[in-house]
Every structure is written in structure tokens, then in C-alpha cells.
Amino acid sequence: MTHKKRKATELHCAAKLYARECSEGKLSRREFLTRATALGVAAPAAYGLLGLSAPAARADTPRMGGTLRIQMDIRAQRDPRTWDWAEPANVCRGWLEYLVQYNRDGTIIPVLLEDWEANDDATEYTLMVRQGVTWNNGDAFTAEHVAHNFERWCDTSVEGNSMASRMGAIMEDDALRDDAIELVDEHTLRLHLSRPDITLISGLADYPAAVVHPDFNGDPIGDPIGTGPYRPVSYDTGISAVVERNPDHTWWNEGNGAWLDRVEFIDLGTDPAAWVASAEGAEIDMLYETTGDFLGIFTAIGMEQSEAVTAATLVMRFNQDSEPYDNRAVRRALQTAINNAEVLELGYSDLGIVAENHHVCPIHPEYAELPPIEMDRDAALEMLAAEGHAETEFELISSDETFHADTCDNIAAQMRDAGINVRRTVLPGATFWNDWLTYPFSATSWAMRPLGVQTLDLAYRSGVAWNESAFSNEEFDALLDQANGIPDADERREVMARLQEIMQDEGVAIIPYWRSIFRHARPNVHNAEQHPTLEVHYQTYWMS
């Protein structure tokens, strides 16, 4: 395979294409930045493509010192690649750094990499490892360490290793493919992919992709070897976690962060009312995530709100292997009974944008606009009656998390308004996941992924591990393959339009909204705005 070596200033052709789309209004600025930087275009250059200059750094000079107290769940720690929540990653982010980082503005910037390049068909990536980085045990950081991490990420024998699902293109037989990584020199390595994959770099920014030392024993707290400027002081699951600036280590990025002396994460339970009480008592400075009616309350007590628009959503999917949802007309009827705008208003406090029962968000680059869907309760009941299900009781299952339960309660209420019998079942969060793939009709929360095809690949392709709707459609699979191979977003959008239509026509799921996520912090906390994937980059936060 030939690889065209490009200079850092030379821009990826696809990136230029995106820039054109962006200026034509086909691509929002955020998506353009995500995609262009994922292809190796530096953030300032990406802004340059749009004829803009990168946003200037904050005028205020950060102040050294201070202790930041953040309310956040403290879940049990484990091996980073098996993290299934962002919270454990957030605590460790001060010493376990990433190759690249996804920013609030949608850009992907290099961290432990100096730069990366992809070839034109995205089948070969060259990673330039940052020089001058040392581990806090004194070892120098090299390309070999990066290769070691790729090997760890591809190891499927470890239960719950979610990185493996992102590394498909360099894997073979449940492990790293032998010839997938080529060590060019001490600070350069090249990845040879078995198929085009433009999502590889975004995957490296995900929270389980923390880079660990070769001697790492699986416990990031007990064995905190990392490259970052902080180190753990204590970690009590369910109670609190404390990190402090590491005085025995020189950080490669010294002077551009690590302002805070100490960060305390405090777990006050899942009840936001307890957080309010604590914030009122001036015992916390920042809330990890604030929701619904509490936004107003936290603002009223003098905290500042920040928002991130995301493609995260709640999917009320039908499992097509179970009665009566194997009947397309039943699924379509239930979709028709629901007014998605009302679900957003009553189930998620109107904090997001209305979705259209398919899993591609308007903020995805390849999103195709379809005619609006229509709610018609009488028609819904008629359709059910025609299938002999007018009297059937439908059971809608959800976990007990507030917005899951609220959203489903609203959907149930709307179904009842249409004259459909419905029963709600709420399961505790821990129990819910036992059968999440096989519930006949239930709600699953899906996190945001930068590209529309990513979630379709993960959840709706026939037979994939997370296909909870048991959706199996040959045309859909074929089109999805086709979409994965189309670099041009315009061309791809045509395919996507058809994919989205199929999802709607087949009544795969009720997908009512795309939710925005929020964070509150005291006015003296800076640089700490909400991140679309809920990351806490405390090494860049500072307090005045």
C-alpha cells in the first residue's frame, strides 16, 4: 500500500471538501471541525479553511492554586479499557492522558500525539508521538508504549473491554492483527487498516482510551503511573475521590494548565435535591451534570450554567423477535401515536431538539432532512385494531433513572390518550442491563458519537452484539456498507436519507429527541463548561 507523506501544512483533501460543504451550509461548523480534525487537520488550520481564525485564548490569565470541589458519582475503579462510565475516567484524567482529545467546539486535538495523518482512503494512519513526554516514574514516553496500548485495546479476552469494538479495522481473530502496527521509529508508528475507517481517531478520544504504562497492573488508583500533572490522594467508592498536583513530576505541557492544587470529587448520591442542599451550603463548587427542573434551581442560587448540544438520546426500541413487535404495522402504529415534541417538552423539560424516529442527528455531518413525521392518534388505534391488537396491553420497560422514567411515562400517557392499553415497568439501574438486549419494548440510553454511521453500525446492523431491536434488513445492511465506503458527504447523504427512511418505515424505534446536557459551576470556576461527552478536563480548569 502506498502512503503519500504529507507535510503538516498540507491539508487533507476530504477536509477541503468538508470546508466547502460547511460554507455552503450543508455542514455545521461543529461537524466540520470534528471531521476535519479527525482527518489530521490541525484546529487552527481547520478554522482557517472556513476563513476564520481560531478562537483566541481567554483574556483572563489563569490563577494558580485553589481546591475545586465537584459533585460527581464515584463509581468503583477498574482497568481503563473496561470503563463503562465517564466518571471513573474523569478522576484519572489528571494522570492518565489520551492520545487525542475531543474538545467542546467539536475539534479533535492531539495530546500525547504531536500530530497524525491519514492517507486519502483512510486505510493507513501515521501517528507522530509527542517528544519530551515522561511518565511520572521517570520513563520516557515512546511509540512502543503506544503500540502496547493498541495491543491492550484489542484484547477481547478481558471482559468488558469496550475499546475492542472501536479497533475492528486493526484486529483479527479477537486480537491485534500481527501486521497492523508498524513501528517507524522511536516516535512514529503507522497503522495499517483492513478497511477504510474514518472513525478510528475519534475512538482514541473516547474515555476508555486512556494511555497506560506497560507495567500497569489494572488498578489506576493503586498504581498511578501516568504522564499527567496530577496524582490520586484517595478514592472511596460512593463517597469521594481526591487528586492533587504531583510535585515530583514535570509535566510535558507545563505552564498551560494544572492550575488547581487539588480537586475533590464528592459523591452525594443520585438525588439532585441533595446536590442542591450541598451547593446551598457552599460545600461544592461545580456539578458534573445538571438536569431538568434543577437547571433553574441551580441558576437561582447563583451558579452559572453551561450547555452542550449532543446527539445523545433515549431510544424506545421494539424487539422484533418478540410478539407482537414482530409485526411492522404494530410498531408503526405505536410510533404514530406519539408526538415527539410533547415527549421532549414533558419528558425532558424541552431541553434539546426533536428527533424523527431514526438514529441520525441533525448535528451529524451526513444527516439528511426528511419530511416531518406526523402524529395521528386515531389512525394509530385503527392500525392496531386492524391487526387485532386494539385491546393488547403493551408493556414499556425502562430503568429508574429520572429522565428515562419520565420520558417513558410520557410516552405511556400519550399511548393512553390514543386509547392504547399500556403498562409501565421500572427496573433499578443495576438490574435493567441484565436483559437490555431482549426486552420486548424498552428504553435504552445512547451516548453521542461524532458520525451518524457509527451508531447505525453498532446498533442496527443485522446480528451485531448491541442490536437490541433485533432489526435485520438486507437493504439496510447493504446501504450501510455502501455509506461506510463513501467519503463524500453529499453522496453519502443520499444513502443516509434512504437509511433513515428505512428506519422510519420499518418502525424500528421511537426516538423522540436529541438531548442537550448541562453543567453548573460557581462564577469563580473558569474554563469548566459542559463537555458534549461529559468529560472533566480539570487540568485546564482554574479558580479566581
Partner 1 sequence: MEAIGWTEILGRMAMQLLPVWLALAVVFAISITWKRRLGLYGKLFDSRVGMVGFALVMFWVFAALFADMIVTHDPLSQISGMRNATPGSPLRDPSGRYEYFLLGGDALARDVFSRMVMGAREVLRIAPFAAMISFMIGISLGLPAGYLGGRLDTGLTFVANLVLAFPVILLFFLLVAPEIQETAIPRVMAGILFIVPVLFFTVLLNARFFTQPARRNLYVGAVMVVGLWAYSGLAFNLDPLGVWGMSPNLLNVFVAVVFVNAPTVFRIVRGITLDIKTRDYVAAAQTRGEGTWYIMMWEILPNARGPLIVDFCLRIGYTTILLGTLGFFGLGVASESPDWGSTINQGRRLLTVYPHAAIAPALALMSLVLGLNLLADGLREESLKD
Partner 2 sequence: MLLFLARRIGVMIVTALCLTFIVFYLTNLPAKLETLAKTQAGSRISDAEVASWLDRNGYNQPMLARYGEWLGVVPGWTRVDGDGDVTGRCYRAHGITDPGAAPARCGLLQGYWGESTRFRASVPDVIPPRLGATGLLMMWALIVMVPMALIVGVLAGMREGSRTDRTLSTFAIASTATPEYVSGVVFIALLASSTAGLSPLLSSWGWIDAPVLFQGNARSALEQITFWNFTLPVMTIALYGMGYVARITRASMAEVMTQQYIRTARLKGVSFANIVLRHALRNALIAPFTVIMLQIPWLLTGVVIVEVLFSYPGFGWTLFEAAVNNDIELLLAASVVAVIVVLLTQLISDIGYVWLNPRISVT
Whole-number Å distance between alpha carbons of 241 and 536:
14
Measured N-to-C along each axis, helices 29-38 and 13-23 cross at an angle, to the nearest 10 degrees, of 180
Whole-number Å distance between alpha carbons of 218 and 363:
36
State the nearest-atom distance from the C-beta of 338 to partner 1, in Å: 12
82 or 134: whose CB is closer to partner 2?
Answer: 82
Using the rule CB under 8 A, is 27 a contact of partner 2? no
Beta bridge partners of 526: 542
407 or 467: whose CB is closer to partner 1?
Answer: 407
List Cβ neighbours of 305 (8 Å cut-off, separation of 6 or more).
290, 295, 298, 299, 518, 519, 520
298-304 contacts: CB < 8 A, separation 24 or more?
298/520, 299/520, 301/276, 302/522, 302/523, 303/279, 303/520, 303/521, 303/522, 303/523, 304/520, 304/521, 304/522, 304/523
Q: 302-332: b or e for each residue (b if 16 or more CB lie within 10 Å)? A: ebbbeebbbbbbbbbbbbbeeebbebeebbb
66 or 292: whose CB is closer to partner 1?
Answer: 292
292, interface contact from partner 2, partner 1, none, CB < 5-8 Å by kind = partner 1
**Subset of residues 361 to 400 that bind partner 2, contact rule: CB under 8 A:** none
Site for partner 1, rule CB under 8 A: 271-273, 276, 292-294, 296-297, 300, 342, 345-347, 349, 398, 400, 405-406, 408-410, 412-414, 416-417, 423-428, 431, 434
State the nearest-atom distance from the C-beta of 164 to partner 1, in Å: 29
Please, what sign has the CA dihedral across residues 22, 25, 31, 33? Answer: positive
Contact 290, 305 (CB under 8 A): yes
Which of 24, 159, 173, 374 touches partner 2 by CB under 8 A? 159
Using the rule CB under 8 A, is 300 a contact of partner 2? yes
Which of 8, 52, 282, 385 touches partner 2 by CB under 8 A? 282
From 194-202, 272-280, 287-295, 447-455, span contacting partner 2 (CB under 8 A): 272-280
State the nearest-atom distance from the C-beta of 365 to partner 2, in Å: 26
Contact 130, 112 (CB under 8 A): yes
Using the rule CB under 8 A, is 463 a contact of partner 2? no
State the nearest-atom distance from the C-beta of 291 to partner 1, in Å: 11
342, interface contact from partner 1, partner 2, none, CB < 5-8 Å by kind = partner 1
Identify the residue whose cell numbers are 410498531: 331
State the nearest-atom distance from the C-beta of 526 to partner 1, in Å: 28
290, interface contact from partner 2, partner 1, none, CB < 5-8 Å by kind = none
278, interface contact from partner 1, partner 2, none, CB < 5-8 Å by kind = partner 2
Q: Which three cell numbers stand for residue 303?
A: 451558579
Question: Closest Cα partner for 420 from 365, 381, 465, 459?
Answer: 381
DSSP state of 543: E
DSSP state of 347: I
109 or 413: whose CB is closer to partner 1?
Answer: 413
Using the rule CB under 8 A, is 56 a contact of partner 2? no
Identify the residue whose cell numbers are 475492528: 168
124 or 406: whose CB is closer to partner 1?
Answer: 406
405, interface contact from partner 1, partner 2, none, CB < 5-8 Å by kind = partner 1
272, interface contact from partner 2, partner 1, none, CB < 5-8 Å by kind = partner 1
List Cβ neighbours of 59 (8 Å cut-off, separation of 6 or more).
none
Q: Count interface residues toward partner 2 (CB under 8 A).
A: 36
186 or 433: whose CB is closer to partner 2?
Answer: 433
148, interface contact from partner 2, partner 1, none, CB < 5-8 Å by kind = none
Using the rule CB under 8 A, is 491 a contact of partner 2? no
Beta strands in 51-187 (DSSP E): 67-71, 100-102, 108-110, 113-118, 124-129, 171-172, 175-176, 181-185
Measured N-to-C along each axis, helices 13-23 and 489-505 cross at an angle, to the nearest 10 degrees, of 70
Q: Which residues bind partner 2 (CB under 8 A)?
A: 76-78, 82, 84, 159-160, 162, 236-239, 266, 268-269, 271, 273-274, 276-278, 280-283, 297, 300-301, 428, 430-431, 433-434, 436, 465-466
